[in-house]
Amino acid sequence: MPKKQPNAISPTRAENYPEWYQQVVRASDLAETSPVRGCMVIKPWGYALWENIQRVLDERFKETGHRNAYFPLFIPKSFLEKEAEHVEGFAKECAVVTHHRLEAGPDGGLVPAGELDEPLIVRPTSETIIGAMFSKWVESYRDLPLLINQWANVVRWEMRTRMFLRTTEFLWQEGHTVHASEDEAQAETRQMLEVYRDFARDYMAMPVIPGEKSAAERFPGAVATFSIEAMMQDRKALQAGTSHFLGQNFAKASEIKFLTPEGTLQHAWTTSWGVSTRLLGGLLMTHSDDDGLVLPPRLAPAHIVIMPMTGRAEDPEAVLSYCRRLRDDLRNQQFDGRRVEVELDERDIRGGEKAWQWIKKGIPMRLEVGPRDMADDSVFLGRRDRSPKDKVSVKRSDFVDTVAATLSDIQAALLARAEAHLEKHTRPIDSEVDFRAFFTPDDPEHPEIHGGFALSHWSGDPAVEARIKQELGVTIRCLPLDEHAPGQCPFTGDRSPQRVVWAKAY
């Protein structure tokens, strides 16, 4: 057994995966808990990561014809009630504004006053308020398709919260579109699912399985919900993005009608789709290790940290100048269509402590530069996708010339590793015995270590799904889009149209 790094995350993944997760969030400086129940504070390093996610996705949304807009934070209670399944889905976990001021109470403290005629719900999602606006904006087929996206905060009053994965308030984008035909709305739903899949794979280096949700897991009010499902390192599934075909349900609830070319008035078809700051949790659990966060270069807030080692230098200023010139040269390089981002860390703290802070933050490359490196016109390079001790001396000019290629190499290495993990722990399973064994932890002290994703047949019977969920805590994550071969349900023997992904999930 390798000796444990004294600076590594404690506990390790093997020791206690959930606690390891919290410790990586903390040690990487991504976020921390706040005094407001269930709400987190996204710190600069985490927020910069979110900004990079936003930048890339926003470009994709605009390329596919969507435009951003902004709608009210508050949803009148009566709006939420317009779609029966929808309100049923969100009523149990919503923040309710009932008053519009504070005034001095009988005991001197401030108490809520100015009660509202109608309570306002802090948006858990915006279908109903956006639908109300769309019903004004859409008159004729000429107004369609209407393709809108919103970047916003939303609130769902979760009883058990976990940073990024499940918080009372989170940041997200929600796309809302209106179409003149069912086919077009379905095509939009699938197109945005593909945008999410490509983004997860190409930028987050996180392979995902795109598929349709079972009826039990559908968005409240949707006709069909699609998701991308990723496998975390503990082999649990994370739903990382959803795209909903809403049929005419919300168009009817909000009276979104359009005049057809033939002159008849018809309800439109709508979609909605979203990803959230939950992606940061998925990113963390896909790549990070017992040393801390690991960031894919295409999304990293900074690519390289330069750490001047001036401790034993005769002329510390010369080392600093060398490092500053190196920083400027690196910033003149391009990676993935943007400037190479370099941090020059001149803080006066111990070199080891400094390096470990950056390892824990997941920066793709670390450069140590001391007097000897300078004399040799070299840098001492550590890559975050390799062991902290695996450092090499590289000629300065070679390093600068190949920096973009090296970053691409790290990006590819992370994706390959994640793909291998997903493949290794995804298994076709054709009997109930094997299925139960697959999801039974070997070690009762580590209930998180189970098989992974089972690809098993399912007839579509919700009773089977409910029973497995209750007995094993395993759910159908999705009906993968690329599974078409029929077979036999291992639980009932019924005919099954395709294999589905079963897993424990976040």
- Count the site residues for a copy of itself by CB under 8 A: 64
Q: Exactly one of 15, 81, 343, 461 binds a copy of itself (CB under 8 A); which one?
A: 81
Does 103 help bind a copy of itself (rule: CB under 8 A)?
yes
Beta bridge partners of 103: 111
Encode 65-95: b = buried (16+ Cβ within 10 Å), e = exposed: ebeeeebebbbbbebbebbeebbebbeeebe
Does 109 help bind a copy of itself (rule: CB under 8 A)?
yes
Name the segment binding a copy of itself (CB under 8 A); options: 120-128, 220-228, 322-330, 390-398: 120-128
How far does Cα 52 stand from its chain's mean position? 12
Question: Is-contact 138 257, C-beta < 8 A?
Answer: yes
Does 68 help bind a copy of itself (rule: CB under 8 A)?
yes
Question: Is-contact 379 326, C-beta < 8 A?
Answer: yes
Q: What is the CA radius of gyration of the chain?
A: 26
39 vs 449 by CB, closer to a copy of itself:
39
The structure tokens 């062991």 sit at 387
Compute the distance between CA of residue 394 and CA of residue 98 in angstroms, rounded to an integer.
63
Name the segment binding a copy of itself (CB under 8 A); options: 132-140, 409-417, 427-435, 469-477: 132-140
Does 101 help bind a copy of itself (rule: CB under 8 A)?
yes
Does 60 help bind a copy of itself (rule: CB under 8 A)?
no
> For 273, phi and psi rounded to 5 degrees?
-160, 145
Q: How many CA atoms lie within 13 A of 296 on its CB side?
A: 30
Question: Is-contact 476 501, C-beta < 8 A?
Answer: yes
**Shortest distance, position 155 Cβ to a copy of itself, whole Å:** 7
| Footprint of a copy of itself on 344-363 (CB under 8 A) | 347
**Shortest distance, position 323 Cβ to a copy of itself, whole Å:** 19
Does 334 help bind a copy of itself (rule: CB under 8 A)?
no
**Shortest distance, position 413 Cβ to a copy of itself, whole Å:** 29
Q: How many CA atoms lie within 13 A of 57 on its CB side?
A: 32
> For 120, phi and psi rounded to 5 degrees?
-110, 140
Does 129 help bind a copy of itself (rule: CB under 8 A)?
yes
Q: Exactly one of 8, 138, 171, 294 binds a copy of itself (CB under 8 A); which one?
A: 171
Q: Exactly one of 19, 91, 187, 460 binds a copy of itself (CB under 8 A); which one?
A: 91
- CA angle centred on 464, ends 459 and 465, rounded to 5°: 95
**Shortest distance, position 83 Cβ to a copy of itself, whole Å:** 13
How far does Cα 390 stand from its chain's mean position? 30
DSSP state of 213: P
Cis-peptide into 301, omega within 30 deg: no
Name the segment binding a copy of itself (CB under 8 A); options: 128-136, 234-242, 305-313, 475-483: 128-136
Name the segment binding a copy of itself (CB under 8 A); options: 69-77, 384-392, 441-449, 495-503: 69-77
Task: List interacting residues with a copy of itself (CB under 8 A).
Answer: 32, 34-36, 39-44, 47-48, 50-51, 67-77, 79-81, 87, 91-103, 109-112, 114, 119-122, 129, 132-133, 136, 142, 148, 152-153, 155, 157, 169, 171, 347
